[in-house]
Chain A
């Protein structure tokens, strides 16, 4: 571990990962984790459902697990290389890894926890670095407390400080902020971003929450069943998802099996029929592979509900149907509407009242062409 005294900025190095490993989940969820990517300095979000192989991937980068084949390196320094028989042990990788459980040492104070990784340094240097990082993460006042005596958000900060004080060459964060409220979360993210502006190292941030993707996102890698299914900016990955799994994670409540009926290249649209119905949807013209299943994703919040037949609309998809169920969830009403196919629609309690919506009542659904997202696995 590089532990020089001066605060020289670490040279910027890319984290490169190319690896394969059998992932043995429960039941049918076994697959092969097979990825190849590089992460430059800054945040890279690893996005995917639980069981997509995200934690296994981080474990392999940190050295807690070994891939079956591949190469993992930071800059020119190899950490794992199956070809060369290289597998550096985790305590010599200089990879900071914040475990999901935080794993603060319960018998040590916050300061002792933070200094644990500074074993090779002089006492005075240890104190200085510990003081600095506690200050930076606003937990100086907690230095002599034990983990059980501080709040969840403070524990997150202490664990982050403990990992970062060692000045790792890459940082791995496994859903570090899942349990926190929005305010605490965004404060910690701000401090983390400020820290990384100085350090400029690759940060891999694992999450399955789309809000975090937008909050941190520079680059997003979407992982599904061990494979990278999409990468790009948060907008590219989440608003124009290609894969159904990503679409579900990104909040497309309606995913409909469809068959292509006709293309209208001159209008930039195509007509798709919802399988098992006579419902024709007009969707944006997309390049699709006719031999493979085609699905259309529509967000429940993007569908309009009308209690009278609507007229004079720009929207091309208007369907008559009836309400099968209405459910209040928090400050949102979830309506299920059958118009040959069943759709989930989200509306406000106020809208429900002013339209006098009741189960069994007749309604019209309105969907813009560009609210319909064509999904096909690539």
Chain B
């Protein structure tokens, strides 16, 4: 068993989830509270990683973050190393790849809150950020849990993006899903079997816990309406 790959996967998923929530809460609030035609474009952009093949996303990121573009060169100058083929690069890729899984449940949760509550808060002098943290987040806390769990699991299971921008460097970018790919390629089916089973059990346990929570109170894990 390659515990290093497992630890790396969990670390990547945790870091990605924290960053995603920090991005998705204001983004979802903007989508729900904001007004204007451009919001539709923003919402489409936030949902794009859902339908785009991971390899397309990974390829664009690889090119964008590599030495061929000004952005890539700028990042390299700041970090001292290129983002591609590094753990930081994986985090960037994962955040973009799992963005819809954090944004969609939050948008559904925020949108389900009675708009009169938001109006009442405004009339009492509250700023938008105060409304988000005193009303939206506490009232949609179940959606917040769903967003966190789904982002985490989706990051654990990603493959295409990681392969494209991370490569396969043990301890730096080799996650469990890459490890399985490796093991199968080396025809080590027994090892692949163990690793795959571990991933399966992990994901199943977390999802079962999440849906168990839902049973006790009616709530919406998956935000399509």
**Contacts from A to B (Cβ < 8 Å):** 1, 62, 64, 89-92, 95-97, 99, 101, 103-107, 116-117, 119-120, 162-163, 166
Complex Cα–Cα for A62 and B124 (A) = 11
Residues of B within 8 A of A95 (CB): 123
Interface contact A90-B117, CB-CB below 8 Å: no
Residues of B within 8 A of A64 (CB): 119, 122-123
Complex Cα–Cα for A1 and B130 (A) = 16
B191 contacts chain A at the CB level, 8 A cutoff: no
Question: Which 10 pairs show the lowest CB-CB distances between chains A and B?
Answer: A117-B124, A103-B120, A103-B116, A90-B122, A101-B116, A91-B122, A97-B123, A91-B125, A1-B125, A103-B117
Complex Cα–Cα for A105 and B122 (A) = 13
1/0 per residue, CB under 8 A from A, across B102-133: the answer is 00000000000010110111111111001000
B10 contacts chain A at the CB level, 8 A cutoff: no
Give the shortest distance, in Å, between B109 (CB) and chain A (any CB).
14
Residues of B within 8 A of A166 (CB): 124-125
Residues of B within 8 A of A107 (CB): 138-139
**In chain A, what residue has the closest Cβ to B123?**
A97
Give the shortest distance, in Å, between B119 (CB) and chain A (any CB).
6
Complex Cα–Cα for A162 and B121 (A) = 10
Complex Cα–Cα for A117 and B127 (A) = 11
1/0 per residue, CB under 8 A from A, across B124-156: the answer is 111100100011001100000000000000000
Residues of A within 8 A of B123 (CB): 62, 64, 90-91, 95-97, 99, 163
Name, among B119, B126, B127, the residue most crowded by chain A CB atoms within 10 Å (CB to CB). B119
Give the shortest distance, in Å, between B126 (CB) and chain A (any CB).
6
Number of A-B contacts (CB under 8 A): 56
Complex Cα–Cα for A116 and B121 (A) = 8
Residues of B within 8 A of A117 (CB): 124-126
Give the shortest distance, in Å, between A76 (CB) and chain B (any CB).
21
Residues of A within 8 A of B134 (CB): 105, 116
The B interface, classified by DSSP as helix, strand, loop or mixed, is helix
Give the shortest distance, in Å, between B129 (CB) and chain A (any CB).
11
Interface contact B139-A106, CB-CB below 8 Å: yes
Interface contact A119-B125, CB-CB below 8 Å: yes
Complex Cα–Cα for A106 and B124 (A) = 16
**Contacts from B to A (Cβ < 8 Å):** 114, 116-117, 119-127, 130, 134-135, 138-139
Residues of B within 8 A of A101 (CB): 114, 116
Residues of B within 8 A of A89 (CB): 122
Complex Cα–Cα for A119 and B135 (A) = 14
Complex Cα–Cα for A95 and B123 (A) = 7
**In chain A, what residue has the closest Cβ to B118?**
A103
A-B contacts, 30 of them at CB < 8 A, read A1-B125, A62-B123, A64-B119, A64-B122, A64-B123, A89-B122, A91-B123, A91-B124, A91-B125, A91-B126, A97-B123, A99-B116, A99-B119, A99-B120, A103-B114, A103-B116, A103-B117, A105-B120, A105-B121, A105-B134, A106-B117, A116-B121, A116-B124, A116-B126, A117-B126, A119-B130, A120-B125, A163-B124, A166-B124, A166-B125
Give the shortest distance, in Å, between A280 (CB) and chain B (any CB).
54
Interface contact B119-A103, CB-CB below 8 Å: yes
Complex Cα–Cα for A121 and B146 (A) = 36
Residues of A within 8 A of B130 (CB): 119
Complex Cα–Cα for A116 and B135 (A) = 11
Complex Cα–Cα for A117 and B131 (A) = 12
Complex Cα–Cα for A186 and B119 (A) = 27
Name, among B120, B122, B130, B139, the residue most crowded by chain A CB atoms within 10 Å (CB to CB). B120
Give the shortest distance, in Å, between B177 (CB) and chain A (any CB).
39
User: A105-B135, A106-B139 given as contacts; is B126 within 8 A of A119 (CB)?
Assistant: yes
Residues of A within 8 A of B126 (CB): 91, 116-117, 119
Give the shortest distance, in Å, between B141 (CB) and chain A (any CB).
9
User: A99-B119, A103-B120 given as contacts; is B114 within 8 A of A91 (CB)?
Assistant: no
Interface contact B139-A92, CB-CB below 8 Å: no
Give the shortest distance, in Å, between A56 (CB) and chain B (any CB).
14
Residues of A within 8 A of B122 (CB): 64, 89-91
Give the shortest distance, in Å, between B63 (CB) and chain A (any CB).
43
Sample of 8 more A-B contacts, CB < 8 Å, known A103-B120, A163-B124, A166-B124: A89-B122, A90-B122, A90-B123, A91-B123, A99-B116, A104-B120, A119-B130, A166-B125
Complex Cα–Cα for A222 and B190 (A) = 83
Give the shortest distance, in Å, between A281 (CB) and chain B (any CB).
48
Complex Cα–Cα for A166 and B130 (A) = 17
Give the shortest distance, in Å, between B143 (CB) and chain A (any CB).
14
Residues of B within 8 A of A106 (CB): 117, 139
